[in-house]
Amino acid sequence: MITAFAPASVANLNCGFDSLGLALEQPGDKVSAIFNNDHIVRIVQITGDGGKLPLDAAANTGGAAVMALLKALGSNQGIDLQVHKNMPLGSGLGSSAASSVAAAVAANALLGSPFSKKQLFPFVLAGEAVASGSEHGDNVFPSLLGGIVLIRGYEPTDVVQLPVPQGLHIVVLHPDVEILTKDARNILPKQISLKHGIQQSANLAGLVAGLYTNDFGLIGRSLHDVFAEPYRAPLIPHFDKVRQAAMYGGALGFGISGSGPSMFALCDSQIRAKQVAELMQKALHGKGIAFETYVSKINTTGAEIVANDKA
């Protein structure tokens, strides 16, 4: 049996709607893979999901990813999967993506690593599509590769790994409220103004430039979203109050992780990140909302094998 870990991820990073994402150190999912003799892919166990996720392999992100991988190999090898969810569902932290990535990485290793990480792209996208209804990589690619990634396009898939400035940390606060990705997408306008298009493009360029030049000031000035945040922020209780607390604490920037409800703050050091986390927590204390907080370096490793009992 081989077990892989795939980290949670933060998508969009404000100015990179559907095109930017980064990986966290924790939380994340683990998936274990072992051969079976029945020539099928099976989900034999799921833990940590409260019984919400399907055991049908074709309807499960991890199972679908492994089925796509085996199809590409022309193999009828049977594989059993055990999925261990260690992150909240519907959190905006790439929960479905982490399961897809961990399953593909575990199965690939079990089969002798016929594919490199980048060659796993179509399989993890196939897994993610089961959950989201479309193949988009702003969660699966950072979870797989680690670091900060830019998805320039899909035909062909063009993924750029961006530099991670030393000291860069992230705080993520996940309030216990549910926002469906479908609802968060439907609330967005179908068209944007030329003014906002230019502003968002400039912010994205500024963020990328700031990452390459280790310019935290430029990174902070660029972390603004004129596309989605104005429409999605009202869905998240006390969003403005938490943002005010984070920025008061010296965060570089603050925003919505993916489609929410998780919120994130980028910081220039671990000390700053811990201070910002405390202030973000205080902003929600007494509001009747349970929440989890994560303080993390940017995970530059991505998905990895954490146990190998193949022998």
Catalytic center residues: 128, 181
SS3 at position 30: strand
Residue pair 41/67 in contact (Cβ under 8 Å)? The answer is yes
Q: Dihedral (C-alpha) 17, 233, 287, 50: value to the nearest 10 degrees? A: -50
Distance CA 44, CA 186 (A): 35
Residue 139: which of 162, 155, 116, 121 has the closest Cα?
Answer: 121
Give residue for tokens 């998805």: 151
- Other C-beta atoms lying within 10 Å of the C-beta of residue 9: 30
CA distance 220 to 13: 11
Q: Roughly what angle, to the nearest 10 degrees, separates helices 95-110 and 61-73?
A: 40
Peptide bond into 230 cis (omega under 30): no
> With 0-12 CB in 10 A as exposed, 13-18 as middle and 19+ as buried, what is 38?
exposed
* Exposure of 230 in the CB half-sphere (CA atoms within 13 A): 9
Residue 98 and residue 298 in contact, taking contact as beta carbons nearer than 8 Å: no
Name the pairing type of β-strands 263-267 and 169-175.
Answer: antiparallel
Helices (H) and strands (E) in the chain, counts: 10, 11
Based on its alpha-carbon atoms, the radius of gyration of the chain, rounded to whole angstroms, reads 19
Q: How far is it, in rounded angstroms, from Cα 55 to Cα 109?
A: 22
